[in-house]
A and B are shown apart, each in its own frame.
Chain A
């Protein structure tokens, strides 16, 4: 079937228009971030001089040393922890079929629908009771729990797609469960695990409400949570706010450009159940 040139052009025109709608806001904040701090920014305008120092001012003003440090620390702990827990549990539920897996799996997966709002208030008081407020340990475990439904769901789906003959064969050779997991399943699971790791990193980096509530100490807040407070402080200083926003999204955008395939497949394939 041959498509006439005119209609193909029209289709690309629509795509380009959509692209502009997505891109213009970014162009907007990049341009705004380069305007002189405290100056007026009107719409999309190229500044007469590029004020790169805004990034330094925003970095120091919002105390990004601390914020980015916290974000990195939390993400670096949450991602491997949540991965290991979800992989082990999904292995037991999907491959070993431990007793009760018929009920345990849905119990985890049910959590996918529940909003953070449902747990955050009680979590604040529960953690206050055991001294885990303002604590990295508290946040890390809370995020690991929050991401567990998707992780178990995702790894369960992946392990279920592995031909059982592979597992049975090595079992017959006398391999123990953990050896089967490490030698047989993990080597063929890296694409699924990478995707999950990338999503976990993103969710951890972007997490806002949980951090806002569980981290009252300004020195331990994450980058997005710190930015949430920075808005209140500098609400009219558009150049600095824009610069701060770019600092916060830079890691996730770089990550996205490198692993875009994982992001898209994780959020689309992972969703299609």
Chain B
């Protein structure tokens, strides 16, 4: 599947100018044809504009309004935005989503890297089977993942059964209802969902590393740990960046999972921005507030994704 990698985008750019200058395709005949080509973009652009770009612009507009969805909207200036940073309920939701990054992104990336270190070049048989299993949580609807974990975490659930078996019966509880631990319990569902993605990404990336690097390092007397730090980690930069970006977006923009597991409870301990956008807009009729929160969330997503890309950029 290497032919699908995007590294090939750049050379074909160069080809465009080369193609236009080719002697057998003179300029005057190509021009109208190139504009006609826009017709192929048009249907996609129209759907994308009306159902994605236009609503985005509308959201930005509404974020400066006070509107209940019925009576005409009133200009509110930056009120909706200032409220996000003064209202503890809204601010906490943002903080929770940042905490979830640890569980959705940081821990899965670390787990994935540890497994890659353990398995690269070592395991030859059965990897297809393990890959199919590890990747499975990634394809399931999060609603079902949530329902499953709701039960696993419940008073009579498998988590408590396991804890009792290993002699930790004292700490059993209804995990998602625990004031202090609900957010962590929720986060660990994200860890369960995302670890497989990271693992599969890193393992497939590590397979592409030239084995000669490792052989040379071994000859130079580098141990397994040293080899991992100096060869595997730098060679996986692209995969690590992508894993971090995908999982971070999943953490910040989480909705489905929270909606079916805790619905923000207990006592707003597990609220996330997505949940409050939904509540503000459809339960409380505060469209302006919901829009401002959605815009803020998107700005945070873009900011953190940009930051990850910046940290992981190719250094000269």
Contacts and interface: CB of A to CB of B under 8 A. Distances in A.
A257 B256 CA distance: 24
B37 A117 contact: no
A98 B38 contact: yes
A49 interface: no
Interface string B238-258: 110011011001001101100
Nearest to A85: B44
A24 B273 CA distance: 31
B143 interface: yes
B41 A252 contact: no
A164 B16 CA distance: 9
A29 B150 CA distance: 11
A197 B133 CA distance: 22
Contacts of B16: 97
A145 B51 contact: yes
Contacts of B38: 92, 98-100
Contacts of A269: 1, 4-5
Contacts of B9: 156-157, 160
B196 interface: yes
Interface residues of B, number: 111
B238 to A, nearest CB: 6
Nearest to B276: A117
A68 B33 CA distance: 45
A222 to B, nearest CB: 10
A103 to B, nearest CB: 11
Q: Is the interface of B mostly helix, strand, loop or mixed?
A: helix
A263 B135 contact: yes
Interface string A108-143: 100101111111111111100000000000000110
Contact of B297 (A92, A117, A144, A156): A117
B167 to A, nearest CB: 15
A157 B10 CA distance: 10
B51 A123 contact: yes
Contacts of B51: 119, 123, 141-142, 144-146
Contacts, number: 325
3 closest cross-chain pairs (CB), A and B? A43-B161, A145-B51, A115-B253
13 contacts: A25-B152, A89-B41, A96-B40, A98-B40, A108-B48, A114-B301, A115-B253, A122-B58, A126-B58, A224-B141, A228-B259, A264-B132, A272-B239
Given A23-B133, A120-B55, A268-B204, 6 more contacts: A7-B122, A91-B40, A104-B45, A111-B48, A121-B294, A123-B51
Interface of A: 1, 3, 7-8, 11-12, 14-15, 18-19, 21-26, 28-29, 32, 40-44, 84-86, 88-89, 91-94, 96-100, 104, 108, 111, 113-126, 141-142, 144-146, 148-149, 152, 154, 156-158, 160-161, 164, 168, 171-172, 177, 191-192, 202, 205-206, 208-209, 212-213, 224-225, 227-228, 231, 238, 241-242, 245, 248-249, 252-253, 256-257, 260, 263-265, 267-273
Interface of B: 1, 3-6, 8-9, 12, 15-16, 19, 22, 24-25, 33-41, 43-45, 47-48, 50-52, 54-56, 58-59, 62, 69, 115, 118-119, 121-123, 126, 130-144, 147-152, 156-158, 160-162, 192, 196-197, 199-201, 204-205, 215, 218, 238-239, 242-243, 245-246, 249, 252-253, 255-256, 259-260, 273-274, 277-278, 281-282, 287, 290-291, 294-295, 297-298, 301-302, 305
